[in-house]
Structure 1
Amino acid sequence: MTVDVVLVAHGTRNPRGLATVAELAAGLTGRLGPVRTAFVDVLGPNPREVLAEATAPAVVVPAFLASGYHVRTDLPARIAESGRRDVAVTRALGPDPVLAAVMRARLVEAGWRPGDTVVMAAAGSSDPAARRDLVRAANLLAARLGPQGSPVHLGFVATGRPTVAELVDRLRRPRRRVYIASYLLAPGVFADRLADAGADGVAAPLGAHPDLVALLGRRVVEARARRLSSTSRDSQNRR
């Protein structure tokens, strides 16, 4: 059964952020076939517009690191507005052990060593479910770093306290280095702010890492399998 795949991101006018979303879509296309892209904010097309043009059942893949407002409220509303009832939605991109592994790799690239203090920088959210997701993501990173690299301290760039800069200032000690793990999907305004937080090093955002693309691909395959199973049951029930 043919299934249209729609990758949904937040939206940004930052060229580097848009390039990352394009790289994610290209990576998925290489694994799954054509992928459409939609945005829930800032620019279009939005999910409603893309789904209205779809010619087959669709799988929507939210490229969000936590299940906040956009994933739990905004995206379902746009899907409902499309009038489509044949849409499956994968869960949010994070938290996931794969993302923790990518964050660790980015930290190593930035110069982090076991024993260095780590602040995980997230955009933040006022949504309690999203905050719980971020805490879980920090715990997954701590487990990935090992006992010498934990605990991981969670800080926020946009919404919530403590801020990343506050944490870095609090945790800095003589002979103790502090590194920032960027729990951000793409370069942009939030990632740029981390350079001024006073840390000894700042890891790059997750970006279109091959393991992240593979994770998105697995989510689509699982959703397709559920769709096939559901279609098969419906067909049998009508007999």
Structure 2
Amino acid sequence: MRATVNPPLLLVAHGTRDPAGPRVVERLAAAAAERLDVPVHVGYVDVIGPTAVEVLRDLDGPVVVLPAFLASGYHVRTDLPAQIAASDRTGVVVCRALGPAPELVEAMRERLITAGWQPGARIAFSAAGSSDEHALADVRAAAQLLGRRCGQWLTPSYVTTAAPATAEVCGPADFIAPYLLAPGLFHRRLAELPVAGVAQPIGDHPAVVELITRRYRQARRQALAA
């Protein structure tokens, strides 16, 4: 009965060779497991393993899958469904991606304050970048949420791929708010810019654990209703 009522959670992230990225995802998984009192597994759609396919094939019964992405781009809408299909699994319920969400905004605001930002100082909102319009729309929504929370209008900029580039729009008095889940190459690029401060990535902030908890419980209700 427990496996049906409280199915395990699979956090699926992009994957990176930078060891800091998987460490963040593993800490989020551990915190979510403690909070939800269910097994939480980790898989990836690219670069490193285990893949979502491999993890799903090792699990029995219903599974809740949560894309640990800040926007619903190609990996969320195409890669992950393809991996789920390749696993030949039934009983898989997929949550919405992590972002955009108010919990992420709270984490970003706290990271900014830690970096020295004070109300009134200009914020440069910086995301990884994408050529996928769905992902870019999610990033714009996230920038609007943070802007409302911080009392200013924010237009997103990007580390790569999309325009405008953060390096071209930020000034020496600005504080950069990285719309990044984990440290890595993109955050290192931002940290090199001549600005007043660069906040840390969102990381394993307690608000993110709360968001994972909320996403899981919503999906669990859907699974039970089905």
- TM-score scaled by structure 1? 0.90
Runs of 4+ in 1 over 6 A off after TM superposition: none
**Match among 4, 9, 32 for residue 5 of structure 1:** 9
1:26 maps to 30
The one-letter code sitting in structure 2 at the alignment partner of 1:159 is T
Tell me the CA shift for residue 162 of structure 1. 1.0
2: CA distance, partners of 1:153 / 1:70: 24
1:35 maps to 40
2:155 maps to 153
**Match among 142, 165, 168 for residue 166 of structure 1:** 168
The one-letter code sitting in structure 2 at the alignment partner of 1:30 is E
Tell me the CA shift for residue 63 of structure 1. 0.5
Is contact 2:16–2:22 with CA below 8 Å preserved after alignment?
yes
**Match among 46, 62, 75 for residue 67 of structure 2:** 62
Tell me the CA shift for residue 4 of structure 1. 2.1
Percent identical residues: 50
1:122 maps to 127
Tell me the CA shift for residue 40 of structure 1. 0.5
Is contact 2:108–2:202 with CA below 8 Å preserved after alignment?
yes
1:181 maps to 177
1:46 maps to 51
2:109 maps to 104
Is contact 2:124–2:175 with CA below 8 Å preserved after alignment?
yes
Structure 1: unaligned runs, 5 residues or longer: 231-239
2: CA distance, partners of 1:70 / 1:211: 24
1:217 maps to 213
1:142 maps to 147
2: CA distance, partners of 1:163 / 1:182: 13
2: CA distance, partners of 1:211 / 1:27: 11
Structure 1 residue matching 2:170: 3-state secondary structure: helix
1:227 maps to 223
| Count of residues paired in the alignment | 221
Structure 2: unaligned runs, 5 residues or longer: none
1: CA distance, partners of 2:176 / 2:200: 9
2: CA distance, partners of 1:71 / 1:98: 20
**Match among 174, 192, 196 for residue 196 of structure 1:** 192
Structure 1 residue matching 2:149: 3-state secondary structure: helix
Structure 2 residue matching 1:152: 3-state secondary structure: coil
2: CA distance, partners of 1:65 / 1:74: 15
Is contact 1:164–1:197 with CA below 8 Å preserved after alignment?
no
Structure 2 residue matching 1:72: 3-state secondary structure: helix
1: CA distance, partners of 2:20 / 2:49: 17
Tell me the CA shift for residue 153 of structure 1. 3.0
CA shift digits 1:99-158 (9 cap, x unpaired): 111111110100111111111110011000110000000000000002xxx122311012
Aligned-pair RMSD on alpha carbons?
Answer: 1.0
Tell me the CA shift for residue 87 of structure 1. 0.4
Structure 2 residue matching 1:153: 3-state secondary structure: coil
Computing the radius of gyration over CA atoms, which structure comes out larger, 1 or 2? 1
2: CA distance, partners of 1:221 / 1:151: 33
